[in-house]
Structure 1
Amino acid sequence: MASPDVDSPWLCAANESFGGCFNMQIEEIKSANVLNVLEAPSSSMSDTCNIPKPPPYPNKTSKAANNCKRILETCSVPREIKDTWDRLFKEAYGVDVYIITDSKSYIPAHCNVLSISSPVLGNILQRSKVKDGIRYIKILGVPCEAVYMFIRFLYSSCYEEDEMKKFVLHLMVLSHSYSIPSLKRVCIDFLEQDYLTKENVIDVLQLARSCNAPRLSFICVRMVVKDLKTISSTEGWKVMKRANPALEQELVESVVEADSRKQERLRKIEERKVYLQLYEAMEALLHICRDGCRTIGPSDKMLKGSQVPCNFPACKGLESLVRHFSNCKTRVPRGCVHCKRMWQLLELHSRMCNDPDYCKVPLCRHFKEKMQQQTKKDEAKWKLLVSKVIAAKNALGPFSARPVDLF
């Protein structure tokens, strides 16, 4: 078709109509003026001409492109489109492929759809023989119903919940064998949420490892670790024990390791409680010697037995220990067990005290001077204890009051 004449009456009339409606006046712009506008303003340009700088050119990986990509990834296909593709598969209109299953059944399909959906099926179809315009391929080793669900999913991504529950393991194998990641994700999600039980967890675990599903494999191992006694009595475990003894050994070792970690965690929790109790004892000791509490305290203060309860959780037990320490006749280091504990608390306080000259806790300066005579080994032990006591308190925060039994 010939191109329209630029000076045609139609274009002239159109220009006249637009010009009449909007009353637009367009002046001719010379090329030199255009270059002046595009170039950066020079010092000779008038200050009254405030022309903003043009925006920078967008990058190839701009935010708009990323947002567009995100929208495309999250958009869903309308139900009508899925129904159309589902009908195309079920009604078998214009099929050119027949899939042969174990039961000698034929499932009709379209070569182009299968080739686009799965590169593995595409290679198989290229090598298949054509007879009367129809290609024939085989998918064996799984039930015919599972193959039907598999091919249907390639068309419309549709499936029935009851059928998925019945053939999910077969579909998992097919999705991995024929490289269909979308179906594989559906099967993994279904297994993780609805299908996994103590009876089939061993079978699912072996399938997850064969089909490269690490998350599902981890979930299965975690279930085995939680209830080894019940799972080890299932039929799946017995079959696995005969066919794959290495996996049985690995699962048993995982259970032992998990139990060891649990015991270590409980040990650290109990150890942290002891360090926290020691810190609270230091606080209560300083409180008793400086302010006094109930019926015990410094000699320069008169205390009443009806005094309000103390806020220090270790104060009650420490009062009994201090009272015993003041009245015990065998009050020597390594003598009475309770006195020995009191000596240790006093020495721990002295190592944590930063102002021994004005401290009212007994023997604080004495232990400070004694530190200089201790061996490096003993000094290292005390420093480690002090650091752990402070770390336990800092880890639990200021709201960690709890009763402490020191006597």
Structure 2
Amino acid sequence: MVMACVDLPKAADSSSVPIPPPLPSKSDGHQKRYRNDAAPEHTCVPTATRDMWDRLFNDGYKANVVIYTDNGGIVYAHANIIGTASSVIKGMLKQAKKHGKWYTISIRGVPHEAVRVFIRFLYSSCYKKEEMNEYIMHLLLLSHAYVVPQMKRVCEWHLEHGLLTTENVIDVFQLALLCDFPRLSVISHRMIMKHFKELYATEAWTAMKKSHPFLEKELRDSVFIEENARKERIRKRNEERIYSQLYEAMEALVHICRDGCKTIGPHDKDLKPNHATCHYEACKGLESLIRHFAGCKLRVPGGCVHCKRMWQLLELHSRVCADSDQCRVPLCGNFKEKMEKQSKKDEVRWKLLVKNVLGSKKIGASPFFLPVTSSSSTMS
């Protein structure tokens, strides 16, 4: 699209400014450019040019190359076109025997139609969707063997966006490693990891085990490594959630003993009927636990499961509490004194728990608890 620049008079008012031309529409005839995140077009040239190249290939006008394929098939082509499109074919033509005006070369090991689709692509970079669907594996191999990067990218894109299935993923993975398709090998490897149990029982897996036993073993090992890593991630997430819940319980315990919450609170404060809504989610369960602890007749540690849990929370609080002298939580000072009489093994276990609990809330930590740095230093 040609753009023109117009010099406006310096004293011109806004009414003299010309109206800008409209934006170009999709029907202006400009070809779409390739985008990394978009599907490759079936052609990147005008239709008339594409049709001319197709006629040149299909009619074989002044063709001078005979390509022999499997099952006695023959494809006619033009040496200057296919030699320019592929450096490997160019080298084959230089070494080919010439019979009159004809060069003769062979492309075998793949179906005749796949060779025909491949040669047609060298003319115009065109292909039909149904041909790509049917011969994708053969075209992938041909694009690598004859060094045609454009077809290589097209095949890789189609496999990534729909043609890679559990039926062909094992073959694609092996071919990707053999033919230097790093992105495709990663994508196919991920699919194998995801559907390992299903693929392990297939004939393709058995064939790979016979032809490439080392590769098959590496795949099995990577599955086990990934599974162990997944379990470790789940374990860490569960631990982090527990530590976070314990931190919230410590905050709720201080809140209940200092300010009171709904129907429970310190003995020297009167609870108001219209008490403000509590923002501590742990308060609900903690209130029930405190009420049980206050009325239970087996309040000794080990006598009642619920009371034992309450004793543990009280001791944990005493270890994270920043100032036991000002603390309103019961038995906080008593547990501080008890720490000096504990065994070294129990002390190490408690310090590790304190470190993890305080570490779960590194931002916006409560002023009533020890800072994370202090808890970390106590571990040394």
Give distance in 1, aligned partners of 2:123 and 2:69: 18
Question: Contact (CA 8 Å) 1:199, 1:235: kept in 2 or not?
Answer: no
Question: Contact (CA 8 Å) 1:83, 1:156: kept in 2 or not?
Answer: no
Structure-2 residue corresponding to 1:275: 243
Structure-1 residue corresponding to 2:269: 301
Question: Contact (CA 8 Å) 1:275, 1:392: kept in 2 or not?
Answer: yes
CA gap 1:325/1:158 in 2 versus in 1, 3 angstroms: same
Structure-1 residue corresponding to 2:168: 200
Give aligned pairs, total: 328
Please tell me whether residue 110 in structure 1 is matched to residue 78 in structure 2: yes
Structure-1 residue corresponding to 2:14: none
Structure-1 residue corresponding to 2:147: 179
Q: CA deviation at 1:153?
A: 0.7
Give distance in 1, aligned partners of 2:198 and 2:350: 48
Structure-2 residue corresponding to 1:94: 62
Structure-2 residue corresponding to 1:67: none
Alignment of 1:113-124 (within 5 A): 113-124=81-92
Q: Match for 2:132 among 122, 141, 164?
A: 164
Structure-1 residue corresponding to 2:329: 361
Give distance in 2, aligned partners of 1:333 and 1:238: 59
2:168 partner letter: N
Q: CA deviation at 1:334?
A: 5.3
Structure 1: runs of 5+ lacking an equivalent: 1-70, 399-407
Q: CA deviation at 1:208?
A: 1.9
Question: Contact (CA 8 Å) 1:371, 1:379: kept in 2 or not?
Answer: yes
Structure-1 residue corresponding to 2:350: 382
Structure-2 residue corresponding to 1:233: 201
Please say which of residues 315-324 and 78-87 is displaced more in the overlay: 78-87
CA-to-aligned-CA distance 1:190-249 (integer Å, 9 cap, x gap): 122222222222222222222222322233232232233332333323333333333333
Please tell me whether residue 291 in structure 1 is matched to residue 290 in structure 2: no
CA-to-aligned-CA distance 1:47-102 (integer Å, 9 cap, x gap): xxxxxxxxxxxxxxxxxxxxxxxx99879543433333333322323322221212
Please say which of residues 229-238 and 180-189 is displaced more in the overlay: 229-238
Structure-2 residue corresponding to 1:148: 116
Q: CA deviation at 1:275?
A: 0.9
Where 1:302 maps in the other structure, the secondary structure is coil
Structure-1 residue corresponding to 2:293: 325
Q: CA RMSD in A?
A: 3.1
Give distance in 1, aligned partners of 2:342 and 2:304: 23
1:236 partner letter: A
CA gap 1:368/1:77 in 2 versus in 1, 3 angstroms: farther
CA-to-aligned-CA distance 1:272-313 (integer Å, 9 cap, x gap): 221121011101100110011233221111236785664322
Give distance in 2, aligned partners of 1:314 and 1:236: 54
Please say which of residues 278-287 and 221-230 is displaced more in the overlay: 221-230
Give distance in 2, aligned partners of 1:123 and 1:189: 28
1:172 partner letter: L
Where 1:107 maps in the other structure, the secondary structure is strand
Question: Contact (CA 8 Å) 1:332, 1:339: kept in 2 or not?
Answer: yes
1:99 partner letter: I
CA-to-aligned-CA distance 1:344-397 (integer Å, 9 cap, x gap): 222322232223332211233344455556566544433332232233345999
CA-to-aligned-CA distance 1:112-131 (integer Å, 9 cap, x gap): 22222111112111122222
Q: CA deviation at 1:179?
A: 0.9
Please tell me whether residue 85 in structure 1 is matched to residue 53 in structure 2: yes
Please say which of residues 378-387 and 138-147 is displaced more in the overlay: 378-387
2:210 partner letter: R
Structure-2 residue corresponding to 1:262: 230
Please say which of residues 315-324 and 138-147 is displaced more in the overlay: 315-324
Structure-2 residue corresponding to 1:342: 310
Structure-2 residue corresponding to 1:351: 319
Structure-1 residue corresponding to 2:16: none
Q: CA deviation at 1:316?
A: 2.4
Question: Contact (CA 8 Å) 1:99, 1:108: kept in 2 or not?
Answer: yes
Give distance in 1, aligned partners of 2:323 and 2:285: 25
Please say which of residues 171-180 and 79-88 is displaced more in the overlay: 79-88
Give distance in 1, aligned partners of 2:221 and 2:104: 48
**TM, length-normalised to structure 2:** 0.76
Where 1:207 maps in the other structure, the secondary structure is helix
**TM, length-normalised to structure 1:** 0.71
Give distance in 2, aligned partners of 1:146 and 1:389: 63
Please say which of residues 119-128 and 92-101 is displaced more in the overlay: 92-101
Give distance in 2, aligned partners of 1:386 and 1:279: 9
- CA radius of gyration, larger in: 1
Alignment of 1:3-152 (within 5 A): 76-152=44-120
Where 2:230 maps in the other structure, the secondary structure is helix
Give distance in 1, aligned partners of 2:331 and 2:307: 14
Give distance in 1, aligned partners of 2:268 and 2:361: 31
Q: CA deviation at 1:140?
A: 1.1
Structure 2: runs of 5+ lacking an equivalent: 1-31, 36-40, 367-380
Q: Match for 1:244 among 212, 237, 241?
A: 212
